[in-house]
């Protein structure tokens, strides 16, 4: 009977294991759903719209094949359309039936003013004897490489075949191209993984393995039972009693061979281990071959934990960048500026710097070209990026504020990056060091962004366009300024350092030249306008440009101002003495927190940087 049960266990185990393996092999459906994107007309770019990418829920995989380099990038659909506005491109979308269709998009012709009827007739008569000439030639935009654009959230480059894993929402699209001049690859497809889990394959295979082990055990028991019952059943003749051998009598030097057979326990123990171990090994292999989707999932669906959120305003536009995108942009800026610093190349610096930041760097290059030991500017720190506050703006120009901690110097830098149009790279416009005890106001998260207050915004206690002039007035007049009570004096290191520096220089000047010359100081708004981004509590962080001008003049008609120990002013002014005097201009990049209307807080200094800007001979 044991053999019958063993055979039944073997048969049932084979059926269960075979059914489990079949579910994972011949009966399992395809793992991916693939949709091809066909292109009828050649164009340098192919855009796959977000509706196509989200035709099937789940992660997407882009596959493009062609000759040479293949480029792919993804970003916001609106940004991609703006970048392609002046060129032809194919766009893949879904029609009403849910099928993928491709359409060639041509650039819009530039708007031109139509001439008056008399002028048109006169021009037509002069050119062709009365027939107006229609110029059908259109200006062709030269090929533009999409590689390295700051608009892309991420990009990929491979040769001959490109495979890019994606997981994009419907408001994002994918751009596929070669080099911006050659036609884009036409062999393009998008695939999605299909949920074809087999939850009973694992239990069937493991259960079959257990039954197989049971069958082996029953089979061994059957063999054991058969061997025990194999001897004669009739009673045999009486045997003489066997006496034990006395080893002491026989002698210890004689070898004795025991006639006692090994116990059955020892024999069967070896056989049992030999039979069971292979079964255990087979079961272990079965367990290891079953993946997670081969088992039923009995766990409850986790409930998301609510967290504090910031609600974006109705109608607020999308943020200009994501945090990974900002990190990549800042790294590109730092690399280019470092190269420009090394070669003192103003033109190269201008590709990634703008405004007050570029003006300060250009002056430094001029001085370093003439003064051997003049210090190079501090490098732009990129990591770790602690704060990213992008402007919520679908149009241009757009801005991004960033705060980076420098682990080596234990200081922080605050910066504003700006992008003028869809084709321009982001440039660093303002950069300053944060005060040691600076407390930043509450800011919106990077995935929501912030709006830019207007330069004359009435919703702040002081409009951004008036901020530089008001602060300069405080520097010039101190407590006598009408704006003094609007700014927080405690912790304002810029105001204190300017006052201390002016007092020190004035005392040094009066010791030798007070009877023959004069030294005066003045501050005012710089030539670069403010940049502002709103905070959560209806305030704003505003970056402004200030200038400080030192003027030294002779008061004696026969006196001459000389610069024996001032190579900086001598280099910038191009003279070492003057009978009319010199002016030296410094530039300050200053960040303020400006509260909203109705707040009892004062305008607070967040950070600043000061650099020499220019020096001239007074004419």
Asked if residue 488 belongs to a domain, the reply is yes
Beta bridge partner(s), residue 614: 585
With residue 117 as reference, give the H or E element that holds it.
helix 117-128
387, pLDDT greater than 80: yes
Q: Of 293-302, 530-539, 605-614, where does mean pLDDT reach its minimum?
A: 293-302
| Inter-residue contact 349 to 550 (CB < 8 Å) | no
Rg of the chain (C-alpha set): 42
Q: How far apart are CA 401 and CA 415, in angstroms?
A: 6
Tell me the pLDDT tens digit for each residue of 145-163.
999 999 999 999 999 999 9
Beta bridge partner(s), residue 161: 65
Q: Where are the alpha helices (DSSP H) in 263-380?
A: 264-288, 323-343, 346-349, 355-370
Q: What is the mean pLDDT of residues 14-21?
A: 81
Question: Does residue 89 share a domain with residue 188?
Answer: yes
449 Ramachandran zone, left/alpha/beta (phi>0; psi -120 to 50): left
- 280 pLDDT band, cuts 50/70/90, is very low
Tell me whether residue 72 is exposed, middle or buried, using C-beta atoms within 10 angstroms of its C-beta: 0 to 12, 13 to 18, 19 or more. Answer: buried
- 50 pLDDT band, cuts 50/70/90, is very high
Nearest Cα residue to 615 out of 591, 579, 590, 581: 581
Asked if residue 450 belongs to a domain, the reply is yes
Question: Within 13 Å of residue 270, how many CA atoms lie on the same side as its CB?
Answer: 5
Nearest Cα residue to 162 out of 61, 88, 238: 61
Tell me the pLDDT tens digit for each residue of 481-514.
999 999 999 989 999 999 999 999 999 898 888 8
Q: What is the mean pLDDT of residues 102-130?
A: 60
C-alpha angle 301-306-309 in degrees, rounded to nearest 5: 140
- 120 pLDDT band, cuts 50/70/90, is very low
* pLDDT in the model for residue 60: 94
Question: Does residue 183 share a domain with residue 207?
Answer: no
Q: What is the mean pLDDT of residues 181-201?
A: 83
Question: Does residue 488 share a domain with residue 454?
Answer: yes
Name residue, tokens 């405004």. 355
Which residues form the domain of 589? 323-617
Instruction: Supply 408's token pair.
Output: 């080596």
Q: How far apart are CA 497 and CA 546, in angstroms?
A: 15
Give 3-state DSSP helix, strand, coil % of the chain, rounded to 5: 30, 25, 40
Count of CB atoms situated within 10 Å of the CB of 601: 14
Q: Which of 199-213, 484-498, 551-565 has the highest mean pLDDT?
A: 484-498
303, pLDDT greater than 80: no
Q: What is the mean pLDDT of residues 89-110?
A: 90
Question: Does residue 57 share a domain with residue 14?
Answer: no
Domain count, the chain: 3
* pLDDT in the model for residue 79: 95
Asked if residue 264 belongs to a domain, the reply is no
Q: How far apart are CA 13 and CA 286, in angstroms?
A: 13
| Inter-residue contact 354 to 453 (CB < 8 Å) | no
Residues in contact with 201: Cβ distance below 8 Å, sequence separation at least 6, in sequence order? 20, 21, 23, 24, 290, 294
- 269 pLDDT band, cuts 50/70/90, is very low
Residues in contact with 584: Cβ distance below 8 Å, sequence separation at least 6, in sequence order? 549, 550, 569, 572, 612, 614, 615
| Inter-residue contact 506 to 498 (CB < 8 Å) | no
* pLDDT in the model for residue 58: 87
Tell me the pLDDT tens digit for each residue of 441-472.
999 999 999 999 999 999 999 999 999 999 99
Asked if residue 250 belongs to a domain, the reply is no
Asked if residue 142 belongs to a domain, the reply is no
| DSSP code string of 146-179 | -TT-TT-SEEEEEEEEEEEEE---TTEEEEEESS
* pLDDT in the model for residue 388: 97
Question: Does residue 452 share a domain with residue 339?
Answer: yes
Q: Of 146-160, 297-311, 591-605, where does mean pLDDT reach its minimum?
A: 297-311
**Which of the pair, 615 or 8, is modelled with greater confidence?**
615
* pLDDT in the model for residue 281: 42
Query: Biggest alpha carbon distance in the chain?
Result: 155
Question: Does residue 90 share a domain with residue 1?
Answer: no
Q: How far apart are CA 53 and CA 419, in angstroms?
A: 28
Q: Of 243-257, 269-283, 390-404, where does mean pLDDT reach its minimum?
A: 269-283
Nearest Cα residue to 153 out of 77, 208, 43, 258: 77
Question: Does residue 93 share a domain with residue 22?
Answer: no
Q: How far apart are CA 357 and CA 345, in angstroms?
A: 14
Question: Does residue 444 share a domain with residue 555?
Answer: yes
| Inter-residue contact 326 to 385 (CB < 8 Å) | yes
Q: Of 287-301, 431-445, 483-497, where does mean pLDDT reach its minimum?
A: 287-301
Mean pLDDT estimate for the chain: 84
Question: Does residue 377 share a domain with residue 347?
Answer: yes
- 256 pLDDT band, cuts 50/70/90, is very low
* pLDDT in the model for residue 284: 43
361, pLDDT greater than 90: yes
Q: Of 206-215, 306-315, 541-550, 578-587, where does mean pLDDT reach its minimum?
A: 306-315
- 198 pLDDT band, cuts 50/70/90, is low
- The model carries a pTM of 0.77
Question: Does residue 75 share a domain with residue 18?
Answer: no
Asked if residue 347 belongs to a domain, the reply is yes
- 219 pLDDT band, cuts 50/70/90, is confident
* pLDDT in the model for residue 195: 66
Question: Does residue 375 share a domain with residue 418?
Answer: yes
Q: What is the mean pLDDT of residues 91-95?
A: 95
Asked if residue 304 belongs to a domain, the reply is no
The SS3 of residue 105 is strand
Q: How far apart are CA 382 and CA 69, in angstroms?
A: 30
| Inter-residue contact 69 to 134 (CB < 8 Å) | no
**Which of the pair, 486 or 235, is modelled with greater confidence?**
486
Question: Does residue 338 share a domain with residue 214?
Answer: no
Q: Of 6-15, 511-520, 562-571, where does mean pLDDT reach its minimum?
A: 6-15
Asked if residue 132 belongs to a domain, the reply is no
Q: How far apart are CA 68 and CA 179, in angstroms?
A: 9
* pLDDT in the model for residue 129: 45
């Amino acid at each position: 009977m044991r053999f019958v049960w063993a055979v039944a266990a073997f048969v049932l185990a084979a059926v269960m294991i075979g059914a489990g393996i079949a579910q994972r092999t011949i009966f399992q459906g395809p793992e991916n759903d693939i949709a091809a994107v066909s292109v009828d007309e050649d164009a340098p770019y192919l855009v796959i719209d977000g509706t196509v990418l989200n035709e099937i829920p789940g992660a997407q995989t882009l596959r493009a094949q062609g000759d040479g380099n293949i480029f792919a990038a993804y970003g916001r659909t609106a940004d991609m359309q703006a970048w392609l506005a002046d060129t032809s491109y194919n766009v893949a979308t879904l029609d009403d039936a849910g099928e993928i269709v491709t359409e060639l998009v041509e650039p819009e012709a530039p708007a031109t003013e139509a001439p008056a009827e008399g002028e048109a007739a006169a021009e037509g008569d002069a050119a062709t004897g009365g027939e107006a000439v229609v110029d059908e030639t259109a200006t062709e935009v030269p090929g533009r490489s999409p590689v390295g654009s700051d608009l892309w959230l991420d990009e990929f480059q491979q040769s001959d075949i490109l495979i890019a894993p994606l997981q994009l929402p419907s408001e994002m699209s994918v751009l596929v191209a070669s080099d911006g001049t050659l036609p884009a690859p036409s062999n393009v497809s998008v695939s999605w993984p299909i949920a074809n889990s087999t939850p009973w394959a694992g239990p069937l295979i493991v259960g079959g393995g257990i039954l197989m082990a049971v069958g082996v055990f029953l089979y061994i028991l059957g063999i054991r039972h058969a061997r025990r019952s194999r001897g004669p059943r009739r009673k045999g003749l009486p045997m003489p009693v066997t006496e034990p051998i006395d080893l002491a009598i026989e002698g210890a030097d004689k070898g004795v061979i025991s006639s006692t057979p090994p116990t059955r326990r020892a024999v069967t123990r070896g056989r049992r281990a030999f039979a069971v171990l292979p079964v255990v090994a087979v079961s272990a292999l079965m367990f290891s071959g079953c993946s997670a989707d081969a088992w039923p999932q009995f766990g409850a669906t986790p409930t998301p934990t609510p967290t504090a959120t910031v609600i974006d305003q109705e109608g607020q536009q999308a943020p200009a960048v994501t945090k990974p995108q900002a990190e990549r942009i800042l790294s590109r800026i730092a690399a280019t500026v470092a190269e420009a610093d090394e070669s003192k190349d103003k033109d190269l610096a201008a590709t990634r710097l703008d405004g007050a930041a570029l003006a300060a760097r250009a002056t430094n290059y001029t001085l370093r070209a003439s003064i051997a030991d003049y210090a190079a500017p501090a490098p732009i720190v990129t990591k770790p990026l602690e704060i990213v506050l992008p402007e919520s703006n679908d149009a241009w120009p757009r801005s991004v504020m960033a705060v980076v901690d420098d682990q080596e110097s234990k200081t922080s830098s605050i910066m504003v990056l700006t992008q003028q149009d869809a084709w321009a790279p982001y440039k660093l416009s303002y950069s300053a060091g944060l005060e040691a005890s600076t407390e930043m106001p509450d800011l919106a998260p990077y995935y929501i962004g912030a709006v830019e207050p207007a330069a004359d915004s009435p919703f702040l206690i002081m409009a951004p366009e008036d901020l530089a002039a008001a602060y300069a007035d405080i520097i010039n007049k101190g407590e006598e300024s009408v704006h003094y009570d609007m700014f927080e004096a405690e912790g304002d290191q810029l105001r204190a350092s300017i006052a201390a520096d002016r007092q020190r220089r004035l005392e040094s000047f009066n010791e030798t030249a007070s009877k023959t010359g004069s030294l005066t100081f003045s501050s005012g708004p710089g030539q670069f306008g403010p940049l502002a981004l709103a905070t959560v509590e209806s305030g704003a962080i505003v970056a402004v440009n200030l200038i400080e001008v030192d003027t030294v003049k002779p008061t004696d008609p026969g006196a001459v101002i000389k610069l024996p120990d001032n190579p900086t002013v001598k280099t910038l002014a191009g003279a070492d003495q003057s009978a009319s005097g010199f002016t030296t201009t410094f530039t300050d990049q200053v960040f303020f927190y400006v509260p909203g209307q109705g707040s009892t807080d004062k305008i607070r200094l967040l950070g600043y940087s000061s650099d020499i800007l220019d020096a001239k001979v007074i004419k």
